[in-house]
Amino acid sequence: MQTPHDREAVLDALADQDLPRLADLVGLLDGDALVELLERLDTGRRAVLFRVLTKSAALEVFERLDPALQAEIVEGLRDEQVASVFAELDPDDRVGLLDELPATVAHRLMRGLSQHERDLTATVLGYPSGSIGRRMSPEFVSVGVGADVAEAMERVRRAGPEVDSTHTVVVVDAGRQVVSVVGLPRLVAADPAERVLDLTHEVRTARADENAEDVARRCVGSKALALPVVDAENRLVGLLTVDDALRVLEDADSEDQARIGGTEPLRRPYLSTPIRSIVRSRLTWLFVLAIGATLTVQVLEVFESTLEELVVLSMFIPLLIGTGGNTGNQAATTVTRAIALGDVAPREVGTVVLRELRVGLSLGVLLGAAGYVFTALVYDSTIGLVVGLTLASICTMAAAVGGAMPLLARTLGVDPAVFSNPFISTFVDATGLVVYFLIARAVLGL
């Protein structure tokens, strides 16, 4: 495990450009420590450190870095060193790196591959961005329906360590359509003369052009080690392994959490992200929210006379719009998560809205009652009634809107997280104030 002393020693060797000493120091670090160190360095020092790694260590570490960091390392290294590491990557990891590289660098690297590896990479590159075809492994072990266990084991042995999905053998018919799958442990324990088909079980497949996140959730939910991926004619084209599925879900969760918070995902470790990239990831959203906040200003201008007649109403504005925003955000976050898990679909928007109306009303009545009691004790009962009724109304409205927006987003083909917290807060701020002042006018006769 890396200690602060080890890290300081490596940083000192980097600062002194003492490459022999640097090579000795990094040779003592394990893969986890090297990854952590590379993620924390700037671009120049990261390239220098990577140069002194042994070939095996370089490949192990490179595979574990985010594609954005891989791209920076590629652009900072010699062509021959890059080509060596690039050729050792799995085709799906290779495609993730190519997506981050300038076209000229990507073409140069592709030309350096063997024809076989180039064909495998081109297969994955041919599918749309965001589809499971981009994340599957095009290398797999398959046997025909008449194969016995001995033949299947021989194919697994021939595939060797070059194929990372040998733990799953796919049975296909003469047209390369998936019939079933069998796990390697079951093959090992079976009689060599037994038919593979007798050991298998039915399995679901995924279309290569399906959304990567949806397929990854199916793979993890089925508790399968791998999920066969097929083309439009249902022919086997690859496997999605469970480790790749978990990586897809981790990336999707990071993206959702960032967008719920009103920013774009960094797609790389925080400490290695340039300041300009962090600024760019937040600036657009801040502009959008600032423009949305002008609605609140407009509402206050419309009801300016109401505020002038009873200034005490202005004291409760932060409480009311804050409570409404939080209620909407809670509903949106819950429904967004339910969509991701496949618990609800866009066609169920009516059911979701009705449920959230009931939830919002229940919350609003409880909070409104508490608001009424507190405000009536401090001010008077009429002000308390305005606050209580407004809390009940805003919570009901915010919960319904928060529940509906993610489903509307999915219907429109937009990421549900985009429609969540920032936009809901802006919407509820403006409409909540309208509700507040209308109730105040009605109750107080202003």
Instruction: Quick: pLDDT tens for 396-446.
Output: 999 999 888 888 888 877 777 666 666 777 778 788 888 888 898 888 876
By the 8 A CB rule, do 315 and 384 touch? no
The residue ranges of every structural domain in the chain are 141-258, 274-444
Give the integer Cα–Cα distance in Å for 214 and 55. Answer: 36
Arithmetic mean of pLDDT, 189-193:
86
* pLDDT tens, position by position, 60-118: 888 788 877 777 777 666 555 566 667 767 777 777 777 766 666 677 667 667 777 77
The domains spanning 141-258 and 274-444 adopt the same CATH topology: no
CATH architecture of 141-258: Roll (3.10)
- The CATH number of 274-444 is 1.10.357.20
* pLDDT tens, position by position, 313-333: 788 888 888 888 888 888 888
Q: What is the pLDDT of residue 40?
A: 80
Q: What is the pLDDT of residue 3?
A: 54
Is 0.85 surpassed by the pTM of this model?
Answer: no
Residue 393 has pLDDT above 80, yes or no: yes
Arithmetic mean of pLDDT, 238-263:
78
Q: What is the pLDDT of residue 400?
A: 92
| Tokens encoding 84 | 């060596």
More confident residue, 358 or 198: 358
CB atoms within 10 A of CB 117: 18
Q: What is the pLDDT of residue 143?
A: 87
* C-alpha closest to that of 365 among 392, 383, 399: 392
* pLDDT tens, position by position, 255-272: 776 666 666 666 666 666
**What mean pLDDT value characterizes the chain?**
79
* Beta strand ranges found along 128-277 (DSSP E): 141-144, 168-172, 178-183, 206-207, 226-230, 236-241
Burial class (CB in 10 A: 0-12, 13-18, 19+), 245: buried
Instruction: Give the pLDDT band of residue 362 (cuts 50, 70, 90).
Output: very high
Partners of 201 in the beta sheet? 181
Residue 302 has pLDDT above 70, yes or no: no
Q: Determine the length of the chain.
A: 446
Three-point CA angle 24, 27, 30, nearest 5°: 150
Instruction: Give the pLDDT band of residue 345 (cuts 50, 70, 90).
Output: confident
Residue 147 has pLDDT above 80, yes or no: yes
Q: What is the pLDDT of residue 368?
A: 92
* pLDDT tens, position by position, 160-185: 666 666 788 888 888 888 888 888 88
CB atoms within 10 A of CB 154: 14
Residue 2 has pLDDT above 60, yes or no: no
φ, ψ for residue 174, nearest 5 deg: -65, -25
Q: What is the pLDDT of residue 303?
A: 66
